[in-house]
């Protein structure tokens, strides 16, 4: 039996999800009715519209799109419920079976809809423009279909697209489940305690250096034991992606992500280049400072997120964490706190660390007719408070964007991390403003710098790792040692000369879920951090009226391009100097830390 981390009772009562807003129970008649409804409505939709899209009047096209959106909502509600139940306990065979069965059922039920995007992309430009600009037509949905039509050069035949749709449940989705269930089932022997992944990773931030070392070595033992499995998963998913990209004639492995994010490759390249160029000024410089504070010639990997010497161990109860974040949100605008309040009061957060629970944290938007749910693995560390602020930011963003409707609410990744990182920044700034003790101020600043390095430097390093891994996989099968070498090259480049690396650290790529679930997603974190730094600077420079513009941006969801949404703030992500502004904020915090030394 996996033991729970120590001091869990001191955290107070941690909330669990109440999923009844989706369905009353896993065997509820409402769920069975919705499954039947998706099947019937998808079949009927295809019968009414297949082969006819180019001939629809503007009003008919609007009705068609709204019918499609309704099917999307019902299917999304079903899979959100199955997925959230599964993430609560991925080792529960009944939950895993229900999710697998429903994935198959919904995939089969929605196969008749595959024609929709394919045929839509064959509608002549003149017809498309006329229909989407007519007064009685679907003009408000044009951003969705503009993004869909950007895929036209990469579209396959209808038959092949249907095959890929049907095959998805035994392709990437199956490998994703294998990864999730493997990770959730791992246990680590740490100083005689048997801990799960989250509790073991949490031990890397312990005040006791021996306990941190024991945790790092326990991780290395298990990752090393299972490295062939993780290498097989990465090899298979990278090859599957390369095959599909090849058929679609995608120019790079990253192209699909950029298209789905509605972001230009040159913008992402400017971000990556700016961060890589800043490694010496940010991570290399900061970690040399940290080695000095810890009295070490070299840092070990278990020192990367270590608390500072003299920083008292601090266990933050759930009630205090809630009050800290809610006060910071209300300090910016009471509306922000009001939007966050129901998460705490209505069972929209699942916070505790439990056997089989998915690791990490996320905010799941479910569907626009319900509400988001937040998953945490809350252990009472200061970073856990920032994670709460981060995920609540996502949740608030999702609530605001829901008014756009299902098709327009989803925010491209370029802006998806904006509200979450802004929520963190508000919480940090509120805490910093109240902190006068120099030692506490130093600890708070150092924690923020480390979070920003983890968000910017580490995530761009992850993006670089993925890029190199996919390029290397194109040349042939990768052994675990091949992947280990790519990982270590990136670590040396991004972390600098302050570190030496224990044997076994070369396998730590194995547990990063983003590489499995969302290839090349990770640059969104750095994008969001850089964007928020620039936004926060704009807020400090001209606070009058900022809140209204900020809420307008969040409410827009995916209805506008990032360049349009940033215009009211005088910001332009395509400008290479834009990213340097955000990076200079991190540099300024490091300057302040160095000044505190004197």
pLDDT of residue 6: 53
pLDDT digits (tens, 9 = 90+) for 197-221: 989 999 999 989 999 999 999 999 9
Longest CA span, the chain: 75
Burial 302-318 (b: 16+ CB within 10 A, else e): bbbbbbbeebeeeebeb
Burial 118-138 (b: 16+ CB within 10 A, else e): bbbbebeeeebeebbeeeebb
pLDDT digits (tens, 9 = 90+) for 526-570: 998 888 888 988 898 889 999 999 999 999 999 998 889 999 998
Residue 368 backbone dihedrals phi, psi, to 5 degrees: -70, -15
CA distance 410 to 273: 28
Contact present, 523 and 530 (Cβ < 8 Å) = no
How is the chain split into domains, by residue range? 19-170
Q: Report how far Cα 587 is from the mean position of its chain's Cα atoms.
A: 25
Reading phi first (left if > 0) and then psi (alpha if -120 to 50, else beta), residue 189 is in beta
Average pLDDT, the chain: 93
Alpha helices in 89-204 (DSSP H): 93-110, 115-120, 125-133, 142-149, 158-167, 172-185, 197-202
- CB burial of residue 157 (10 Å; 0-12, 13-18, 19+): exposed
Structure tokens at 107: 């995939």
Considering Cα of 437, then 443, then 446, then 451, what sign does the dihedral take?
A: negative
* 397-402: average pLDDT: 97
Q: How far apart are the first and last CA of the chain?
A: 50
| Cβ-defined contacts of 512-518 (< 8 Å, 24+) | 512/462, 513/179, 513/180, 513/183, 513/359, 513/360, 514/462, 515/234, 515/462, 515/465, 515/466, 515/469, 516/175, 516/176, 516/179, 516/233, 516/234, 516/237, 517/176
Helix (H) or strand (E) holding 465, with range, is: helix 457-473
Beta bridge partners of 350: 375
Considering Cα of 218, then 221, then 226, then 230, what sign does the dihedral take?
A: positive
Examine the pLDDT at 312 and tell me if it is beyond 80: no
- Which region among 44-53, 73-82, 374-383 has the lowest average model confidence (pLDDT)? 374-383
**pLDDT band at residue 439, thresholds of 50, 70 and 90?**
confident
pLDDT of residue 273: 93
pLDDT of residue 249: 95
pLDDT of residue 2: 40
Q: What is the CA radius of gyration of the chain?
A: 24
* 483-509: average pLDDT: 97
pLDDT digits (tens, 9 = 90+) for 288-310: 999 999 999 999 999 999 988 87
Helix (H) or strand (E) holding 356, with range, is: none
pLDDT of residue 156: 83
A 10 A CB-CB count for 228 gives 11
| Contact residues for 556 (Cβ-Cβ < 8 A; gap 6+) | 401, 404, 565
CA distance 593 to 598: 9
**pLDDT band at residue 3, thresholds of 50, 70 and 90?**
very low
Q: What is the dihedral of CA 587, 588, 590, 592, to 10 degrees?
A: 170
CATH topology classification for 19-170? Butyryl-CoA Dehydrogenase, subunit A; domain 3 (1.20.140)
CA distance 504 to 232: 18
* 66-92: average pLDDT: 97
* 185-208: average pLDDT: 93
- Which region among 3-12, 262-271, 328-337, 576-585 has the lowest average model confidence (pLDDT)? 3-12
pLDDT of residue 7: 63
Examine the pLDDT at 1 and tell me if it is beyond 50: no
């Amino acid at each position: 039996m996996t033991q729970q981390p120590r001091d869990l009772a001191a955290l107070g009562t941690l909330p669990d999800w109440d999923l009844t807003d989706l369905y009353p129970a896993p065997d509820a008649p409402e769920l069975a009715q919705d499954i039947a409804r998706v099947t019937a409505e998808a079949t009927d939709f295809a019968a009414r519209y297949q082969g006819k899209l180019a001939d629809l009047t503007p009003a008919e096209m609007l009705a068609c799109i709204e019918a499609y959106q309704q099917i999307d909502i019902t299917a999304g509600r079903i899979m959100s419920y199955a997925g959230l139940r599964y993430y609560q306990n991925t080792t529960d065979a009944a939950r895993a079976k229900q999710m697998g069965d429903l994935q198959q059922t919904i995939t089969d039920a929605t196969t008749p809809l595959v024609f929709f995007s394919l045929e839509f992309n064959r509608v002549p430009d003149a017809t498309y423009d006329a229909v989407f600009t007519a007064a009685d037509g679907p003009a408000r949905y044009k951003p969705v279909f503009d993004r869909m039509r950007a895929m036209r050069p990469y579209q396959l035949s209808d038959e092949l697209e249907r095959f890929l749709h049907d095959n998805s449940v035994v392709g990437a989705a199956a490998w994703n489940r294998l990864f999730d269930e493997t990770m959730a089932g791992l246990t680590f022997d740490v100083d005689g305690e048997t801990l799960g992944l989250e509790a073991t990773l949490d031990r890397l931030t312990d005040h006791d250096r021996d306990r941190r070392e024991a945790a790092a070595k326990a991780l290395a033992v298990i990752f090393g034991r299972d490295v062939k499995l993780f290498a097989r998963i990465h090899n298979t998913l990278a090859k599957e992606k390369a095959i599909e990209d090849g058929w679609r004639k995608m120019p790079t492995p990253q192209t699909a992500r950029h298209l789905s994010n509605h972001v230009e490759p040159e913008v992402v390249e400017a971000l990556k280049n700016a961060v890589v160029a800043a490694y010496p000024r940010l991570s290399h410089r900061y970690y040399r400072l940290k080695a000095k504070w810890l009295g070490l010639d070299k840092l070990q990997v278990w020192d990367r997120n270590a608390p500072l010497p003299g920083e008292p161990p601090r266990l933050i109860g759930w009630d205090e964490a809630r009050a800290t974040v809610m006060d910071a949100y209300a300090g910016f605008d009471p509306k922000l706190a009001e939007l966050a309040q129901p998460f705490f009061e209505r069972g929209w957060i699942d916070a505790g660390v439990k056997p089989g629970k998915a690791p990490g944290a996320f905010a799941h938007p479910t569907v626009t007719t319900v509400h988001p749910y937040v998953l945490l693995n809350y252990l009472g560390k200061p970073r856990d408070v920032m994670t709460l602020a981060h995920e609540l930011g996502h949740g608030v963003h999702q609530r605001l964007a829901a008014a756009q409707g299902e098709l327009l609410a989803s925010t491209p990744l370029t802006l998806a991390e904006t509200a979450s990182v802004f929520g963190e920044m508000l919480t940090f700034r509120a805490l910093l403003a109240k902190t006068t003790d120099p030692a506490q101020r130093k600890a708070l600043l150092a924690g923020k710098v480390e979070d920003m390095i983890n968000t910017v430097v580490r995530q761009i390093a992850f993006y670089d790792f993925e890029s190199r891994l996919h390029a290397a996989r194109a040349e042939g099968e990768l052994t675990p040692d091949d992947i280990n070498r790519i990982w270590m090259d990136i670590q040396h480049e991004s972390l600098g000369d302050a570190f030496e690396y224990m044997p076994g650290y070369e396998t730590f790529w194995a547990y990063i879920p983003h590489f499995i679930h969302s290839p090349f997603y990770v640059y969104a974190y750095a994008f969001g951090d850089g964007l928020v730094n620039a936004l926060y600077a704009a807020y400090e420079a001209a606070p009058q009226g900022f809140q209204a513009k900020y809420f307008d941006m969040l409410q827009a969801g995916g209805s506008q391009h990032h360049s349009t949404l940033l215009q009211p703030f005088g910001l332009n992500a395509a400008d290479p100097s834009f990213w340097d502004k955000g990076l200079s904020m991190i540099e300024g915090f490091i300057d302040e830390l160095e000044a505190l030394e004197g």
